[in-house]
């Protein structure tokens, strides 16, 4: 893991105080850090010292299968919390997709808070439950959907997380989408092209998607 720059003040990355809301009335002080494009936040096997909250940008969590192929397990966007998905050691790695600002809180602080405040512990459990739910949804997509349906599900999922419900700015590349959906970049690209042909979406640029017919997309997902 790169130097977190918390003990060493005055590093090149600006450090702004930030906070993570854990429970009602319980807010933990965090340290803000900047990560560059494709920079690793933490790696598989490392000690899980911090929990992270996305302030700006986006983060992907990765695991590699034994033959070296990459599987993206989840994407995290501003407001999302990640890094608590494991015990003492990380079982996956996390990378900034583009330039990203994260807020860090020591796990030890969180554990202490959870011990003293039942509502904090409850909030932690709810966070874990949401993560588990997401992982199971993902398994369902990977197990039971075809290529077009996977891409449709992905777009709908993003659309629900974004303010402008029908304009999606993709922070990630086709390769990232492919590795998340367990497809190839070619298949993802073809799915986008097909949807554009069907007037379901518009693609003003490869990273900008306009949902023109949400119903058609939902129909596609269900297929």
Where on the chain is the footprint of a copy of itself (CB under 8 A)? 63, 65-67, 69, 71, 73, 84-87, 91-92, 111, 114-116, 118, 121-122, 124-126, 128-129, 131-133, 135-136, 138-140, 142-145, 182, 221-223
Choose the one of a copy of itself, DNA, none that binds residue 189, judging by a C-beta under 5 to 8 angstroms depending on kind: DNA
The shares of helix, strand and coil residues in the chain, as percent rounded to the nearest 5, are: 35, 30, 35
Please name every residue paired with 13 in a beta bridge, in sequence order, or none if there are none.
none
175 binds DNA (CB under 7 A): yes
Choose the one of DNA, a copy of itself, none that binds residue 157, judging by a C-beta under 5 to 8 angstroms depending on kind: none
192 binds DNA (CB under 7 A): yes
CA distance 140 to 118: 33
Instruction: Write down the least CB distance from residue 201 to DNA, Å.
Output: 11
Tokens in use for 38? Answer: 């494709």
Q: What residues have CB less than 8 Å from 75, skipping those under 6 apart?
A: 58, 59, 60, 97, 172, 176, 180
Q: What residues have CB less than 8 Å from 201, skipping those under 6 apart?
A: 155, 192, 195, 209, 210, 211, 212, 213, 217
Interface of this chain with DNA, residues 91 to 130, rule: CB under 7 A: none
Contact status, residue 1 vs residue 40, Cβ threshold 8 Å: yes
Instruction: Write down the least CB distance from residue 21 to DNA, Å.
Output: 34
Instruction: Write down the least CB distance from residue 2 to a copy of itself, Å.
Output: 24
Choose the one of a copy of itself, DNA, none that binds residue 190, judging by a C-beta under 5 to 8 angstroms depending on kind: DNA
71 binds DNA (CB under 7 A): no
Contact status, residue 168 vs residue 202, Cβ threshold 8 Å: no
> How far does Cα 116 stand from its chain's mean position?
29
Rg of the chain (C-alpha set)? 19
Choose the one of DNA, a copy of itself, none that binds residue 86, judging by a C-beta under 5 to 8 angstroms depending on kind: a copy of itself
182 binds DNA (CB under 7 A): yes
184 binds DNA (CB under 7 A): yes
Interface of this chain with DNA, residues 125 to 164, rule: CB under 7 A: 146-148
By the criterion CB under 7 A, which residues form the site for DNA?
146-148, 173-175, 182-190, 192-193, 203, 205-207
């Amino acid at each position: 893991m790169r130097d977190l720059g918390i003990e060493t003040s005055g590093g090149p990355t600006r450090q702004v105080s930030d906070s993570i809301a854990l429970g009602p009335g319980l807010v933990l002080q965090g340290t803000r850090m900047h990560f560059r494009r494709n920079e690793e936040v933490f790696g598989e096997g490392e000690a899980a010292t911090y929990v992270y909250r996305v302030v700006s940008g986006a983060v992907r969590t990765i695991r590699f299968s034994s033959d070296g192929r990459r599987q993206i397990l989840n994407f995290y966007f501003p407001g999302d919390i990640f890094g608590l998905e494991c015990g003492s050691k990380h079982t996956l790695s996390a990378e900034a997709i583009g330039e990203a600002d994260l807020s860090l809180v020591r796990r030890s602080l969180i554990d202490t808070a959870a011990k003293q405040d039942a509502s904090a512990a409850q909030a932690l459990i709810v966070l874990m439950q949401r993560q588990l739910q997401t992982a199971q949804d993902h398994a369902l997509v990977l197990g039971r959907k075809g290529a077009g349906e996977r891409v449709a599900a992905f777009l709908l999922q993003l659309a629900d997380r974004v303010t402008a419900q029908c304009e999606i700015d993709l922070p990630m590349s086709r390769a990232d989408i492919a590795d998340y959906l367990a497809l190839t970049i070619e298949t993802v690209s073809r799915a986008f092209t097909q949807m554009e042909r069907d007037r379901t979406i518009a693609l003003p640029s490869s990273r900008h998607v306009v949902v023109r017919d949400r119903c058609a997309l939902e129909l596609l997902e269900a297929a």
